[in-house]
Amino acid sequence: MIKRTLFFGNPAYLSSRNEQLVVSFPEEDNKDATTPIEDLGFVVLENPQITMTNGLLMKLVQNNTAVITCDKQHLPCSMLQPLVGHSEQTERMRHQLNASLPLKKQLWQQTVMAKIENQAQHLLAQGKNALKLKRWAKEVKSGDTDNHEAYAAAFYFQNLFDIEGFSRNQKGMAPNNLLNYGYAILRAVTARALCSSGLLPSIGIFHRNKYNAFCLADDIMEPYRPFVDTLVYDIVETGCQLEELNQNLKAELLSIPAMDVVIDGKQSPLMNAMSRTTNSLYECFEGSSRKLLYPTFI
């Protein structure tokens, strides 16, 4: 089942009634709107004048709904996570924490190979040269000791957008703002799936910054980034204004969890594919598998 994403950009009062999320708009005369909580996967809160009851928060967390808040720049900045995301959480976390360094290096190798291959396929889909990426994807060593991931990312973004002077930089020119927003949504999707699989989003296989609470999410989302890039690329090609991240652009980017991807030869919504990826990661930690399951371009 595809879970819904709700975005709130105006002042609102959010509560629950009969297992429904109830939306009241204090500045408008509209009737209350309701949505079944069980249908929700993500709730994005952008306006600082949104009030939410504790009863609703409790029900959203129990439903494993990711509640995402935004900062003054309207970018996602935090996510509410459940304390218990899986019935076997303690055992699963123990397997994660006991994972050997060679295993982590092998998992990072698979992750980088999948990311570079997806970047190559995206460039090819846009009629661009991807021979270097194809070669680099095959040359990634355990732990990516030659840093192919960074070289590939630089080449990829230099050739993706036909925009003079563009480079990938969080504070750079548009469409960096769209990429930032899209990756933040993807990060939330990844963290939600990791919690559902009983894993700690903070303990990565490669990323290990002590100030980063989502190291594992940042690892596992890497091969999914090109799918966000495809959406941003299509937006850029429409010729619309990109400098301001308006409601229409946000609506496009909030469709990321429901995007169709191909994983294990079958089409699946991205958020469902992510759950399969995180479950395959646990199987690697637990020892029943040695292969991470990542999506591929058609």
pLDDT by residue (tens digit) across 123-140?
Answer: 999 999 999 999 999 999
CA 90 to chain CA centroid, nearest Å: 24
Q: How far apart are CA 11 and CA 141, in angstroms?
A: 51
Between 20-29, 63-72, 164-173, 193-202, the lowest mean confidence (pLDDT) is in 20-29
Of 163, 54, 149, residue with least CA distance to 111: 149
pLDDT by residue (tens digit) across 236-273?
Answer: 999 999 999 999 999 999 999 999 999 999 999 999 99
Which of the four CATH numbers 1.10.132.50, 3.100.10.20, 3.40.190.10, 3.40.50.1000 does domain 4-80 have?
Answer: 3.100.10.20
**Whole-number pLDDT of residue 78:** 86
| Structure tokens given for 155 | 């080449």
**Whole-number pLDDT of residue 26:** 77
Tokens 């190979």 sit at which residue?
A: 113
User: Three-class SS of residue 262?
Assistant: strand
Residue 74 assigned as binding residue: no
**Whole-number pLDDT of residue 189:** 94
| Structure tokens given for 217 | 């999410």
- By percentage, how much of the chain surpasses pLDDT 90? 84
**What average pLDDT does range 181-209 have in this prediction?**
94
Question: Do 4-80 and 89-296 share a fold?
Answer: no
Q: Superfamily for 89-296? A: CRISPR-associated endonuclease Cas1, C-terminal domain (1.20.120.920)
Residues 6+ apart with CB under 8 A from 205: 99, 104, 107, 108, 111, 216, 219
Amino acid making up residue 197: S
User: What residue ranges do the domains of the chain occupy?
Assistant: 4-80, 89-296
Residue 95 assigned as binding residue: no
Residue 207 assigned as binding residue: yes
